[in-house]
């Protein structure tokens, strides 16, 4: 008779070491902090003299210092945050950690992200065999890194000639895999969505070469099964207004919104799309797109703008696509003024020599180029990011019951968004990541290009 499976507990095999594990049951008081409340995106929303009570990996209470009892002080570790500014952990809503898979590089990116204040990321389709393991490893603390919410990809059959689909399907054939699925009118969409769910993806990403009726069917089925739907702003031949009308939860790449103005012939296929968008200066709204933004605001569709990605290609030694950059800036500015929620996605990583992850560039770009105020940018990087991940119940604001994901700064980020780099330490699920203790290592310069 075979030996029984060991029960969980001290006699079970220990498994791999977890030096970065979330905090267990420790009670810690983070006292005398100035809390940056980004929830409303209103300037001046700073609450000085506040204590955040953290038990293990969860925020137990948020109190004025004067309300903290002597009994609570005696029962807990106290960390004095006088002169520090505290906000919810940052969220990057557009990353690709495994296109192609490179475990050493991915771990370096994740390490730099969490020490740079990023406590959660949205992985927008990759080789999920590696992504699922990285997700587990950062969650249990085998490696340092943010939490990862990831998607399975669906696209029309023609898209799977793209070499990236082969990079993320090595050993198998793309288009027939749960995380990389070709969809046409004959597809069994309920089964395809169920298989996507089986990868532990939290969303389906709709990428390219799908007509609007199929996007509607995928979206309805995915949401019925409890998955989010993330899509490119233009899916070819489907234009942005049709993608939004299908009911997707978020759309990516602001410059793609310009395809709303394209002729039908320019929307035929993803591979055949024209490379440049119309020039759209930030101060000159495009009237023809106003209805699209009104539709997004009404539906609550999030724009994952990825505006700074058009500067990242310089790290490859290639010229910046200036027309795309101007379009991304102008259309994001117009969307913001129209009341559309903007999330802070990047779609690239900075070179190894950069001490901060790409999200810092995105925040700076949104403030300096798009014209969002620092507090509006911080709201996008916290609360809106949590909504994009479908995890607003557990992250994105500093509230009792939410994860203890905090960014502690020694300067006011609402006075100058550049102060987001003045990090003293990061709290991720109650675990402290002190900036001065960060390990060396980052991304290779040649791998810092946008992925899509």
Each as own residue / partner, the long-range contacts of residues 265-268 (CB below 8 Å, 24 or more positions apart, any chain) are: 267/234, 267/236, 267/237, 267/238, 267/239, 268/236, 268/237
Domains of the chain (ranges; CATH) run: 27-87+403-437 (2.30.40.10), 90-391 (3.20.20.140)
DSSP states of 397-413: S--TTSB--EEEESS-T
What secondary structure, in 3-state letters, does 292-314 show? HHHHHHHHCCEEECCCCHHHHHH
Distance CA 324, CA 335 (A): 16
Instruction: Give me the count of residues in the chain.
Output: 452
pLDDT per residue as tens digits for the range 15-63: 899 999 999 999 999 999 999 998 876 766 899 999 999 999 999 999 9
DSSP states of 342-376: EE---SS---TT-SS-HHHHHHHHIIIII---HHH
- Where does the pLDDT of residue 285 fall: very low under 50, low under 70, confident under 90, or very high at 90 and above? confident
Give the pLDDT confidence score for residue 10 in this predicted structure: 63
Give the pLDDT confidence score for residue 444 in this predicted structure: 37
What is the CB neighbour count within 10 angstroms for residue 281? 12
Considering only residues 162 and 321, tell me which one the structure prediction assigns the higher pLDDT.
162
Give the pLDDT confidence score for residue 2 in this predicted structure: 46
Give the pLDDT confidence score for residue 266 in this predicted structure: 78
To which residue do tokens 């560039």 refer?
361
Asked if the model's pLDDT at residue 443 lies above 60, the reply is no
pLDDT per residue as tens digits for the range 249-276: 999 999 999 999 888 777 888 888 775 4
Mean local confidence (pLDDT), 408-435: 97
Asked if the model's pLDDT at residue 431 lies above 50, the reply is yes
Asked if the model's pLDDT at residue 440 lies above 70, the reply is no
Calculate Rg over the CA atoms of the chain: 22
Mean local confidence (pLDDT), 330-353: 94
């Amino acid at each position: 008779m075979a030996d029984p499976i060991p029960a969980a507990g001290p006699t079970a095999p220990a498994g791999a070491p977890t030096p970065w594990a979330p905090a267990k049951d420790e009670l810690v008081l983070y006292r005398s902090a100035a809390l940056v409340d980004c929830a409303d995106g209103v300037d001046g929303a700073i609450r000085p003299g506040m204590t955040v009570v953290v038990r293990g990996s969860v925020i137990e209470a948020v109190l004025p210092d004067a309300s903290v009892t002597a009994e609570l002080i005696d029962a807990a570790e106290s960390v004095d945050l006088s002169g520090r500014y505290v906000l919810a952990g940052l969220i990057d809503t557009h990353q690709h950690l495994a296109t192609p898979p490179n475990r050493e590089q991915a771990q370096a990116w994740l390490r730099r992200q969490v020490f740079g204040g990023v406590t959660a990321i949205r992985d927008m389709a990759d080789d999920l065999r590696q992504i699922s393991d990285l997700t587990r490893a950062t969650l249990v603390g085998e490696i340092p890194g943010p939490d990862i919410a990831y998607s399975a990809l669906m696209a029309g059959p023609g898209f799977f000639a793209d070499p990236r689909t082969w990079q993320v399907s090595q050993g198998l054939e793309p288009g027939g895999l749960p995380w990389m699925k070709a969809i046409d009118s004959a597809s069994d969409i309920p089964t395809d969505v169920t298989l996507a769910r089986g990868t532990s993806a939290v969303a389906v990403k709709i990428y390219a070469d799908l007509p609007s009726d199929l996007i509607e069917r995928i979206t309805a089925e995915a949401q019925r099964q409890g998955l989010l739907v993330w899509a490119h702003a233009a899916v070819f031949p489907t234009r942005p207004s049709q993608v939004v009308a299908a009911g997707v939860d978020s759309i990516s790449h602001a410059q793609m919104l310009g395809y709303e103005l394209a002729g039908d012939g320019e929307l035929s296929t993803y591979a055949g799309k024209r490379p440049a968008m119309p020039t759209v200066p930030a101060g000159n709204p495009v009237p023809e797109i106003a209805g699209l933004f009104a539709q997004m605001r009404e539906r609550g569709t999030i724009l994952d703008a990825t505006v700074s990605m058009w500067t990242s290609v310089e790290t490859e030694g290639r010229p910046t696509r200036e027309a795309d950059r101007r379009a991304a800036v102008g259309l994001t500015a117009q969307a913001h003024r129209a009341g559309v929620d903007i999330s802070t996605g990047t779609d690239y990583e900075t070179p190894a020599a950069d001490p901060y992850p790409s999200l810092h560039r995105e925040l700076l770009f949104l403030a300096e180029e798009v014209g969002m105020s620092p507090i509006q940018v911080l709201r996008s990087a916290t609360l809106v990011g949590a909504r994009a991940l479908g995890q607003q119940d557990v992250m994105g604001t500093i509230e009792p019951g939410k994860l203890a994901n905090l960014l502690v700064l020694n300067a006011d980020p609402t006075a100058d968004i550049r102060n987001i780099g003045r990090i003293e330490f990061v709290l991720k699920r109650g675990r402290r990541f002190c900036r001065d203790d960060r390990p060396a290592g980052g991304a290779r310069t040649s791998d810092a290009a946008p992925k899509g």
